[in-house]
Amino acid sequence: MFRKAVVGIVNFLFCHVFYRVKYINKEKIDNMGKCVVCANHSIMMEPAWLYCKTKNMWIMAKAELFKFKLVAKFFLYFNVFPIKRGQKDAKSIIHSINVLQQNENAKLLIFPEGTRIKKDKERGKAKAGPIYIAAKAGVPILPVYMTKNAKVFSSPRVIYGDPIDIPANVVEDKAEVQRYADLLLDKIYELKELDDSNKKKEKNKDKKKKSK
């Protein structure tokens, strides 16, 4: 009951009040079984947009968020677990694979750029971790694009793409793993075109309303 109540409050505040999030092609994740969900990342609230609307979701987050025991317990209770950035964190990688293999219809959220991308950068560098995890766990990756640097009381979009199958043997070749990582990031940012087209449509609607 506590988990459900907290998720409900977060959903109401951060998906409907402070941000009026619009979900596009959401059926693509609703119809998925186990998978790694990979999205771009620019503001702190984005994980909530995905977590609140997705059943059986786990989140990989930077280890710095787990410095305080009470905060760490809270995150772990809600299936958020740490990974050490900038180094090989074998323990977290193994935990990620276990989450996918041992939990029915598990969805694991990873931000493949490894950090939030600020306004002055268009995109970051693709990390290999999500590809390795998906290949080892035998699950596809679902790319997601979220409107960058959304402002409070705006209407950001969460756009789901088509799943990408990752061959199991890709882990045998580092160059091939990186190629898939770059492809994944390309697929995520290609979804931005749909976000841009929706923005134009809404602006045109507003212009028509004002002209009447």
Q: Which residue has the higher pLDDT, 205 or 90?
A: 90
Mind listing the pLDDT tens digit for each residue in 36-61? 999 999 999 999 999 999 999 999 99
Map 164-209 to HEC letters: ECCCHHHHHCHHHHHHHHHHHHHHHHHCHHHHHHHHHHHHHHHHHH
Where are any strands of DSSP class E within the chain? Answer: 22-24, 35-39, 57-62, 80-83, 107-110, 141-146, 157-160
User: Model confidence at 105, in pLDDT bands (50, 70, 90)?
Assistant: very high
pLDDT at 210 over 70: no
Mind listing the pLDDT tens digit for each residue in 141-181? 999 999 999 999 999 999 999 999 999 999 999 999 999 99
Distances (CA, A) of 105 to 68, 138, 147, 187: 30, 13, 26, 23
105: helix, strand or coil: coil
Q: Which domains does the chain have, with CATH numbers?
A: 2-211 (3.40.1130.10)
pLDDT value for 1 = 83
Q: Return mean pLDDT, the chain.
A: 93
* Percentage of the residues of the chain whose pLDDT score is greater than 70: 94
Do 177 and 170 contact (CB within 8 A), yes or no? yes
Task: Please choose, from the candidates 105, 108, 131, 115, the residue with its C-alpha nearest in 3D space to the C-alpha of residue 33.
Answer: 105
Phi, psi dihedrals of residue 42, rounded to the nearest 5°: -135, -25
pLDDT value for 153 = 97
pLDDT value for 88 = 79
191 token code pair: 């979804």
Instruction: Using the Cα atoms of residue 59, residue 50, residue 137 and residue 162 in order, give the sign of their dihedral.
Output: negative
pLDDT at 70 over 70: yes
pLDDT at 198 over 80: no
Using a CB cutoff of 8 Å and minimum separation of 24, what contacts does 126-131 make?
Answer: 126/178, 126/181, 126/182, 126/184, 126/185, 127/181, 128/174, 128/177, 128/178, 128/181, 129/83, 129/93, 130/36, 130/38, 130/181, 130/184, 131/166, 131/170, 131/177, 131/180, 131/181, 131/184
pLDDT value for 169 = 97
pLDDT value for 203 = 66
Q: Which of 106-120, 136-150, 192-206 has the lowest mean pLDDT?
A: 192-206
Distance of alpha carbon 30 from alpha carbon 54, whole angstroms: 8
pLDDT at 212 over 70: no
User: Model confidence at 79, in pLDDT bands (50, 70, 90)?
Assistant: very high
